Structure formats: structure tokens, C-alpha cells
């Protein structure tokens, strides 16, 4: 799960990144951090967040691969890791790849690393309703009901 809270710190013009990886419904890796660069839109902040989540995902996949090889299971084909994201525009951009246009020309192409990972079959970014996105816990204040649900 990956999410961003656009301009969650309005005094410093910084957004919040949050991600969570689970295995068998148990959290194994998570992070909540202020983005180091100023996002110019909610879509931009989501791209930055999913970039960070993708980097963590590749590291986790390398650990799993090492464990499998150590156990003699190297012939097992790993399916793509699903990363859930609630921003449809972000998902579309990452599927299409870096397209320089008026709305995206300021976003560094390095943040489209996620597109490359999808093409290679390492990850699969899928849309999820915001109300079901566990990464919301790391990016914004939630009502008591929503907090308990997640």
C-alpha cells in the first residue's frame, strides 16, 4: 500500500509519504516520512510516494529471493508484488510511463522508475479505494471509525 498526503505540512510546503508492505496479512515493512522535495500537485506527491514504496519493494523482493535461493527454491517464479494506490491519475501515468507534457514536464523522469518495474513484471500497481488504503494511516489524520477499520 502506498499513499501521500499532499501539503500535509503547509508551513514548509511538504507532503507526507506513507507505505506499508504485508505478508500473510502481517505488516513486514512500513514508513511514514516528509517528502524532501515540494510536490506541485496531489498527483505529483503520489508519484513521489510510490517511487519510495517501489524502492522498498525491490529491496524486500531481493531479500525474499535470497532466502529462496538459500533454501534451494531458486526455481520458483515470483509473481509481481501488488502495490495498492488510491490515485487513478498517478496509476495511469505510471502505466504509460514518462510523457513530457504541460502537466508533467516538471516531474523528473527518475520518478517513473515504477513504470520500468511494472514493465519488467516486478510490481503491479493496482487501484484501491482510499477508504481501504492501509497507507492512509501514515499520511493523514483519520476519524476513530476509519482508524479502527484499517
Q: Identify the pLDDT of residue 22.
A: 94
Q: Identify the pLDDT of residue 147.
A: 66
Q: Identify the pLDDT of residue 141.
A: 72
80-85-90 Cα angle (round to 5): 105
Closest CA to 86 of 123, 43, 56, 52: 43
**pTM: predicted TM-score of the whole model, two decimal places:** 0.85
User: What φ, ψ does residue 110 adopt, rounded to 5°?
Assistant: -60, -25
Q: Could you tell me the three cell numbers for 1?
A: 500500500
Q: Is 64 exposed, middle or buried (0-12, 13-18, 19+ CB in 10 A)?
A: middle
Q: What is the mean pLDDT of each run of 10 residues along the chain (150 residues)?
A: 89 92 94 92 91 96 90 80 93 79 74 89 94 84 70
Q: Identify the pLDDT of residue 97.
A: 77
Q: Is 23 exposed, middle or buried (0-12, 13-18, 19+ CB in 10 A)?
A: exposed
Q: Identify the pLDDT of residue 33.
A: 95
Q: Could you tell me the three cell numbers for 133?
A: 488504503
Contact at 8 Å (CB) between 137 and 2? Answer: no
Q: Is 133 exposed, middle or buried (0-12, 13-18, 19+ CB in 10 A)?
A: buried
Q: Identify the pLDDT of residue 46.
A: 92
CA distances from 107 to 30, 45, 52, 102 (A): 25, 10, 15, 10
Q: Identify the pLDDT of residue 98.
A: 67
As its CATH architecture, domain 2-143 has 2-Layer Sandwich (3.30)
Q: Identify the pLDDT of residue 88.
A: 93
First and final C-alpha spacing in the chain: 12
Amino acid at each position: 500500500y502506498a499513499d501521500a498526503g499532499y501539503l500535509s505540512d503547509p508551513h514548509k510546503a511538504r507532503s507526507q509519504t506513507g507505505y506499508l508492505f504485508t505478508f500473510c496479512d502481517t505488516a513486514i515493512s512500513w514508513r511514514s516520512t516528509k517528502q524532501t522535495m515540494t510536490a506541485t500537485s496531489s498527483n505529483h506527491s503520489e508519484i513521489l510516494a510510490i517511487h519510495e514504496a517501489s524502492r522498498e519493494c525491490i529491496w524486500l523482493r531481493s531479500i525474499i529471493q535470497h532466502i529462496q535461493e538459500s533454501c534451494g527454491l531458486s526455481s520458483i517464479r515470483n509473481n509481481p508484488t501488488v502495490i495498492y494506490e488510491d490515485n487513478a491519475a498517478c496509476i495511469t501515468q505510471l502505466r504509460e510511463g514518462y510523457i513530457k507534457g504541460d502537466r508533467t514536464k516538471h516531474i523528473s523522469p527518475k520518478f517513473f522508475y515504477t513504470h520500468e518495474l511494472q514493465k519488467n513484471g516486478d510490481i503491479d500497481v493496482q487501484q484501491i479505494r482510499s477508504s481501504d488504503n492501509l497507507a492512509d494511516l501514515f499520511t493523514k489524520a483519520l476519524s476513530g471509525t476509519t482508524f479502527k477499520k484499517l
